[in-house]
Copies of this chain bind each other. A is one copy, B any other.
Amino acid sequence: MTARYAGIAGELREAIMRGDYDVGAQLPSEAELAVRFAASRGTVRQAVAVLAAEGLVGSRQGARRIVLGRERSQSFAELHSFAQWARSTGHRVTGLVLEQRRRAADVTEATRLALQPGDAVLRVLRVRSLEGEPVLLERTVYAGWIAPAVESLPADCESVTQALYESVGLVFAYGEHLIDAVAAGTEDARLLSVRRGSPLLRQRRVTTTPEGRPVEWSDDRYRAGSVTFSIRNSVDANPLVRQVGDLRPSS
């Protein structure tokens, strides 16, 4: 069994998504839930805190909690891994490595991956397709210490995240993402079957292990209209930040 509060959160989440509570309706009070689940108030609070973080419920001191929506945010794994996300939504996903080679890290890459300039890194160019249509172009730089594991993957590996976990036990735990829009370059256009200059949604990200060690730096470009990022937030919890452009050269 998982933690108690996680179980309670799960039951409440299902009840909300099932429609037991309408959007805008009130949730039972903490005291009531504590009795129903035979848990202390603290544990119940932890459970509803999970739902609040997912954006499902909101709360104000003094008033009952309110149901804000029915769609749950997906897990970190689903956010990080294109394959896991696509699969969880029932889409058929494929991938293909077009290029892969080791190089010495330049200053930018070294900084981002917490390496010394000149240390070995592995650059990979990958196309991902949804239902056979190419929708995503990934230009990834892996830190040298993980390169062997990445190179040993098949070129059409579906989920790199999962493969790395299974082969070397690597876990991605933290990520920082920068999202903006860019025009498709010549190569982008050719590989994604769009016209040059057409809009792409760009997501640049650094991912690190649970110990805080950077593993990869990636520039992912989505064909416009194929994928949308969705964010739920509240006065309490909010992870999204705007930044003025041109802070960093684009790789």
Residues in A lying within 8 Å of B, measured CB to CB: 23-24, 53-55, 58, 60, 63, 66-69, 73-79, 85, 89, 91, 114, 130, 173-183, 197-202, 208, 210-213, 222, 224-247
Give 12 A-B pairs besides A24-B213, A227-B242, A230-B240 with Cβ atoms closer than 8 angstroms. Answer: A60-B211, A63-B211, A67-B212, A69-B176, A79-B233, A174-B234, A179-B231, A180-B227, A198-B199, A225-B245, A229-B242, A230-B241
A-B contact pairs, 15 of them (CB 8 A): A53-B53, A63-B211, A74-B241, A77-B235, A79-B233, A173-B234, A174-B232, A175-B231, A175-B232, A176-B231, A176-B232, A177-B231, A181-B202, A225-B245, A230-B240
Q: Which residues of B contact A212 (CB under 8 A)?
A: 23-24, 58, 66-68
Residue among B75, B240, B246 making CB contact with A231, cutoff 8 Å: B240
Number of copies: 2
Closest B residue to A197 by CB, please name it. B197
Contact A200 B181 (CB under 8 A): yes
Residue among B53, B130, B225, B244 making CB contact with A227, cutoff 8 Å: B244
Residue among B68, B89, B210, B238 making CB contact with A73, cutoff 8 Å: B238
Contact B226 A245 (CB under 8 A): yes
Closest 4 CB pairs of A and B: A199-B199, A181-B201, A181-B181, A179-B229
Q: Which residues of B contact A242 (CB under 8 A)?
A: 74, 78-79, 85, 227-230
| Residue of A76, A179, A181, A201 with most chain B CB atoms under a 10 A cut-off | A181
| Residue of A24, A75, A176, A199 with most chain B CB atoms under a 10 A cut-off | A199
Give complex CA distance A85, B211 in Å: 32
Residue among B91, B177, B225, B243 making CB contact with A246, cutoff 8 Å: B225
Q: Which residues of B contact A198 (CB under 8 A)?
A: 183, 197, 199
